[in-house]
Structure 1
Amino acid sequence: MTSNESNRRGEFGLTFPVRLVSDVRKSQEWYRNVLQCHDISGYGHATRGDGGGMGLIVVTAASPDHIRPNAVAQKHKDEPAEAASSEYGCDSLIEVAWDNLEYIVEEVRSRGGKITVEPYEYTHEGWFHKKAHIADYDGYNIVLSANRSQTDESTSHQPEDKFMKTIQVRLVSDLKKSLDWYKNVLGCDEVNDYGYARRGDPDVPYPVMEVILQQAVSPQDVHPNALSAKVRGVEGLWEGPDEPWDTFVHVPWDDVKLIVEEVRARGGIIGSEPIEFHGDEWDSINAQIVDLDGYSIFLGGMRGKDEA
C-alpha cells in the first residue's frame, strides 16, 4: 500500500435525509405532485434533479408521536429579527436562485402546496436574503432560501422552477460541541458558526455530505428518528430499515470500513459495525455512526458480483 493509499479518506456520496411519515405512498405522492420529484421508488425515495435539486427517503412511523417536525431554533445573537420565522422551524433548506423564489412559491401553491410563510426579505452582513416556508404532507418545514450580495445588480431573466440544492437541518443540544464533533470526528472539511457542516470537495456541489445544525431552545426539541414501523406484505414497498435512520449516505464499497475506522480513531460512536449482505447479483455493506445527540448516519455501499 502506498502512502497516498494509506492516507486516503473515505468518500461520502449521495446523502439523503430520512423522514418518518404517516403514509409513505401519500408522502411520495405529495413530493411528486407538489414538488415535482421525478424519482419515486419503493425504497421511499423522492428525488428531483441530477446535479443538485433535492432528495430524501421517507419511511413509515411506528407511531404518530414519532412524526416531529423541527421546532423553532434558538436565534443567533447577531441575527436580525426578521431572519427567521417565530412560528415555524426548518427541516430542510432548499437553495434557489434569487429571481426564482417567488415563481417557485406560486408553482407550489398552484399544485396544492401549503405556503406557511410567504416570501420575505431582509439584509444581513452585506447580503440580501429572501425566504419562504412550505409544509409537506406531514407538516415538515421546507424553507426556500435565496441570497445575493448588496453589490450585485438584480437580474431579470425568465424565472424557472429549479432547485439548486437541498440541505438537511437538525436541532442539537449544544451547537459548539456538535460543530466540533462534525469537524473533528466526522471529518467535515468546513464548519462555521452558523451551523453549516460539509464533508466533500467545495468545488463539487453534488454529491457531498452537508447539514445545517441549529441550537435547540429546549432539550426536548432534540429528537433523532425513532425506529420506523415494518411495512410487510405491500407489493413494491420496502418494509423499512432495522435501525433508526436520520441520514442515509451512499458510500463506495471499500470506503464504508475506511470511514468507520476514521470515526472510531477520533473517538466517535459506531452504532453498528460494518455488515456484509450477499445477494444473487449485488452485495451490500452497511454501517452506522451516531453523533453527539444520537442522530444516526447510516453508511451503505453496494457492488456487483463481478466487482467482488
Structure 2
Amino acid sequence: MLKKSVILSLLVILVCISCTTEKKSKTALEGTWIASYSQTANNVKNNFKDIPDYIHLMDFKGNTVRLKSFNDKNSRSYIDTVVNFSLNDGAIKLGNEVKMQIAMATDSIVLSSEVYNQRYQDVFRKLPKNPKTVSWNPIGKHYTTYHEDIQVFIDFANDSVMYSFNDATSIYSKSLWRIENIDNRTILVQKNDDIFSLTYGIVDSLIDNKLYITDYLFQEKSIVFEEQKPAHAKPSSLYGTWKLAYKEKLPLDSEQVTLPSSLDSFEKFRISKDSFYFVGEPITWCYNWKYYENAETIVLEKAKKAIKVSKVTKDSLTLKMDLSQIDFLNRKYILTRE
C-alpha cells in the first residue's frame, strides 16, 4: 500500500513539474520572433544559410501564436493566421502545422523538422519589447545606404515599386515593396523577382533625414537610409555622338564572349534629351533614359542598366559600366565626341 502511495505521489510530482516546465516555456516564448535564416542538416556543416521561405514572424500571446509570412499575399506560401500552440517534451505544435522540435535561448529559438528524410531548421530572433510605430512614407523619395561598404542608391518610385543601383555594378534592380504594421512595429518588406529575393527589416526610428532599420536576416545588423533630394535634370553636356576610344577588358577568368546582339558590341553612343542609342553593327539599340543627379548616373530601365558618369568634358566622356550578358563589376570606358 505504501509503495502504491509513493508511486502515485511521484506521478503527481512529475505531472506538476511537467505543467510548470510547460508554463515557464510558454512564458519564455511570450513576445514577437522574426525569422533569421533556414538551414538543412547538410548546410549546417558548411555554414550555408538561406532566406526563410514560409513563416517569417511569430507573435506568442498566452496559448496562441500569430503565424505571419511576408510572401506575396496571392501566393500559395502566404500565411497570416492565429492558432493555438502546445509544448511537450521539447516539441512544439503550431495549430495544424507539423510538430517540430524546439530549442530555446534567451534571444533565439530553433525549430527543427524532418521532411522526406531531410532535416530542416529555422532560426528566429526575439524582437525588443514595447515597440513604437514609426510614421514613414517613402513614396517618391530617394535614399542612399551602404551594403558591405558599397554605396547603394534607392528610389521609391511609387506606392509599390522601388529601384536600386550601386557604384560597383551596372545592375539596375526593380523590387516590389510594402510596409507591414504589426503590433506597433513598422516593417519594410522588399521582394525582387529577378533574383528571387525577399528581405525585411524593422524600422526603428526616423530622425531628421535618416531612417534607422534593424535587419535580422542571417545576422543582426543596423542599416541607415539617408534621404536625398530627388533631382533628375539631364546634363546637356552629355548630348551628342560619342565614339568608343577605350574599353577596359573583362576579367581574365571570364569566358564571356561579346556577341553581336550584346550591348557591349557598340561602336558609338548617340544621346539626345529623350533617347539613348547604342550604335553598332549590325544592330542599333534605342532606350529611353533618365538621370540621377545625386548619383551622377544614367539609367536605362528596360535594359536594367545603370551607367556611372565619371567625367564629362567638351571632347571626352568617361563612364563606369558593365554591358556584358553576365553581370561583372563596372569597367572603365572612354569615349570621344564626334
**With structure 1 as the length reference, what TM-score do the two structures score?**
0.24
> Looking at CA atoms only, which structure, 1 or 2, has the larger radius of gyration?
2
TM-score relative to the length of structure 2: 0.23
> Could you say which structure has the greater relative contact order, defined with CA pairs below 8 angstroms and 6 or more residues apart?
1
